[in-house]
Amino acid sequence: MVGIKRFTIGIFSIVLLFSFILNISIGAFSLSFNDIVNTFLSPLDNQINYQVLVDIRIPRIILSIFVGVAFGISGAMMQTLFKNPLADPSLIGVSAGASAGVVIFMMLGAYLPAIFSEELSSYIVVPFSAFLGAVITILAIYKLSTLYNKVAVTVMLLAGIAINALLGALVGLFSYVSTDEELRTFTFWTMGSLANGDMNVIYIMFPIIIGVYIFAIKKKVELNLLLLGEDEARNSGVNTERLKKLIILSVSLAIGVSVAFCGIIGFVGLVVPHISRLLVGSNHKFFLPLSAILGAFILVWADAIARTIIEPAELPIGIITAILGAPFFLWLLVKNRQNTLN
Amino acid sequence: MFKVRNLSYKIQNKEILKDISIDIKSNNFLSIVGPNGCGKSTLIKTINRNLSDYEGNISLENKDINSFCDKELALKRAVLNQSFYFPYSFKAIEIVEMGLYSYSLEIKEKKKILEYIVDKLDISLLSQKDYQGLSGGEKQKIQFARVVAQIYASCEKQKFLFLDEPTLNLDIYYQYKILDLTKELVMDLNIGVCAILHDINQAYMYSDEVLMMKDGQVRHFGNTQDILTSKNILDVFNVQSDFVYSEKLNQEILVTHAC
């Protein structure tokens, strides 16, 4: 049993590695493997190739991996925190909350004196506002939907609808008074894109994503116990109050930076944990690593589709993930219909 | 010893527990009986801090219950709540192992404890199956094994086991098996048991003390022989009863009948 689970995780790691290599050659500017090898052997002779690879393509693929891990792991932790497979960060409004944080910062920013430089603003302040937006949203939804340590799933989902609608209104309001250039940015917020990936983004995301992943793995036993129920976890010795706060904090960090740099990418946090649960069961020891790997795998390929399907233009990645994810969500609802009735 | 003093608990102005004062001693089997909705489960939940905002005092070893951290408390007592929704795929033995969360045990020791419990409860086949596919009674056995593991591994002098309807969903053979094991834990490991039981006969057979509750209050509390009488059963449950001696089983049996 354990052997098969380890094997599954191993297989998917290898598949992810191959996807990474394969995707370096795919894109509007097509490069064969020979080109890639030559470029790295003698960068000076292939300057254009080198720039495409090192400045654009490789950072973008690394970014898609980070964002995939962020959504995979966050989705997994959220589903455990809410004890429900429908608790997806995008569905219940956490991503929307993060982008609302950014939009509000931008709106205020127009009226405030420019205290932050352009660089500082886009790499530090924007992610931080996204993080704040995410924290507030998760806390609000958790408080709204729990009573006597139990989660009311309907309230959770409906609160998500309300929050998503509120953000829609906010973005609508802002788009009314904004220029064409800004409008394009809002499309980016609501539908997501990995086109902004550069090395600075990677440097900022790296410690956060690694930190959140390590936190999740370290807490695997506690997360398992949390599935039994909050009372059971606490009676067995888990400091559930602290654990819940740490989960909310780390999910907000991961979703906050992802949304700040890549906008809202829906359904990954819903679909990925569900598939990994089908493959290796619910034990977080296997479930978490596979969710991270699968999340990365799906985002790498969703982005590959997004940037090649209407070459030389690009589709927002959120369209791809929604086309794949929304039917899956409906299928999940139908599958869980029986439980909902009981 | 758990000391509960003047405990009251309200949900939206409805009094669920009213002024309850009891002691829960170690090396003692205490049964709680009473009609549906009389506050038995709420009492166990409040004592174990699963419900806050209560009035009154709950202490363990003369220290307020809230002065312990979750881990300290987990070493001193284990709690089996009524069965719950758990639609996740885990191997049953992994669920039992969760009971050992608070102990830093070596793999070898852990294995020994788990083997002992699996053997005691006769669940070796069951323990290798997926929990999700088990029947209600089988799940109950696994959850019971989990809390027994938690309390069995403890090295504390005083330790307690709270059971909310441990025999729920079980066939009659396993009801006795679980109660026998619980009694054994009381005798061999000096554990203090506090169990909500629905079968008054089982309460009569197994417990040292009985607490009879009605409308959120303590109606009768003391030694089993003094408390489980026809008069008190009529008072609390509103049913007629009589004690009949069975020669074959060499024991007194409580028979009940509607009024």
Rounded CA separation B91/A136 (Å): 36
Q: How many domains does chain A have?
A: 1
Q: Is residue A129 part of a domain?
A: yes
Mark the ranges of chain A whose per-residue pLDDT is less than 50. 342
- B46 burial level (CB within 10 Å; 0-12, 13-18, 19+): buried
pLDDT above 90 coverage of chain B, percent:
88
Q: Would you say A86 and A153 are in contact if contact means Cβ atoms under 8 Å apart?
A: yes
- Summarised one tens digit per residue, pLDDT across range B11-52 is 888 999 999 999 999 999 999 999 999 999 999 999 999 988
**pLDDT score, position B228:** 94
User: Which helix (H) or strand (E) segment is A245 a member of?
Assistant: helix A240-262
B208 vs A156, residue with greater confidence: B208
Give A72's contacts (C-beta < 8 A, 6+ positions apart): A268, A269, A272, A273, A276, A291, A292, A293, A294, A295, A296
**pLDDT score, position A118:** 67
Proportion of chain B in helix, strand, coil states, percent, rounded to 5: 40, 30, 30
The residue ranges of every structural domain in chain B are 2-258
Nearest chain A residue to B80 by CA: give it.
A232
Cα–Cα distances in angstroms (integers) from residue A267 to residues A153, A274, A288, in the given order:
18, 11, 17
Rounded CA separation A249/B256 (Å): 57
**pLDDT score, position A123:** 81
**pLDDT score, position A117:** 66
**Cross-chain residue pair B89–A238, CB shorter than 8 Å:** no
Give B227's contacts (C-beta < 8 A, 6+ positions apart): B209, B210, B212, B220, B221
Q: Most B CBs within 10 Å: which of A220, A223, A236, A339, as the mutation test of the B interface?
A: A236
**Cross-chain residue pair A224–B45, CB shorter than 8 Å:** no
Structural domain boundaries, residue A140: 2-334
Give the mean pLDDT of chain B.
Answer: 94
CATH topology of domain B2-258: Rossmann fold (3.40.50)
Rounded CA separation A167/B29 (Å): 58
**pLDDT score, position A222:** 96
**Cross-chain residue pair B101–A235, CB shorter than 8 Å:** no
B102 vs A contacts (CB less than 8 Å): 236-237
Show which residues on chain B lie within 8 Å of chain A, measured between beta carbons. Answer: 45, 48-51, 69-71, 73-75, 78-79, 81, 84, 86-91, 94-95, 98-99, 101-102, 130, 150
**Cross-chain residue pair B101–A240, CB shorter than 8 Å:** no
Residue B101: pLDDT above 60? yes
Q: Is residue A342 part of a domain?
A: no
Residue whose tokens read 């990677």: A202
**pLDDT score, position B96:** 96
Backbone angles phi, psi at A238, to 5 degrees: -80, 130
Cα–Cα distances in angstroms (integers) from residue A203 to residues A55, A88, A145, A206, in the given order:
13, 26, 36, 5
**pLDDT score, position A342:** 47
User: CA end-to-end span of chain A, whole Å?
Assistant: 32
Give B226's contacts (C-beta < 8 A, 6+ positions apart): none
Nearest chain B residue to A242 by CA: give it.
B70
Q: Is residue A340 part of a domain?
A: no
**pLDDT score, position A330:** 86
**Cross-chain residue pair B81–A283, CB shorter than 8 Å:** no
Rounded CA separation A9/A3 (Å): 10
B95 vs A contacts (CB less than 8 Å): 228
Residue whose tokens read 């806390």: A139
B161 strand-pairing partners:
B78, B193
Q: Which of B237, B234, B208 is nearest to B221 (CA)?
A: B208
**pLDDT score, position A173:** 79
CA A86 to chain centre: 15
Stretch 89-128 of chain A: residues touching chain B, C-beta under 8 Å: none
Give A319's contacts (C-beta < 8 A, 6+ positions apart): A191, A306
A148 vs B contacts (CB less than 8 Å): 51
**pLDDT score, position B184:** 93
CATH code for the domain of A281: 1.10.3470.10
**pLDDT score, position A163:** 84
**pLDDT score, position A181:** 67
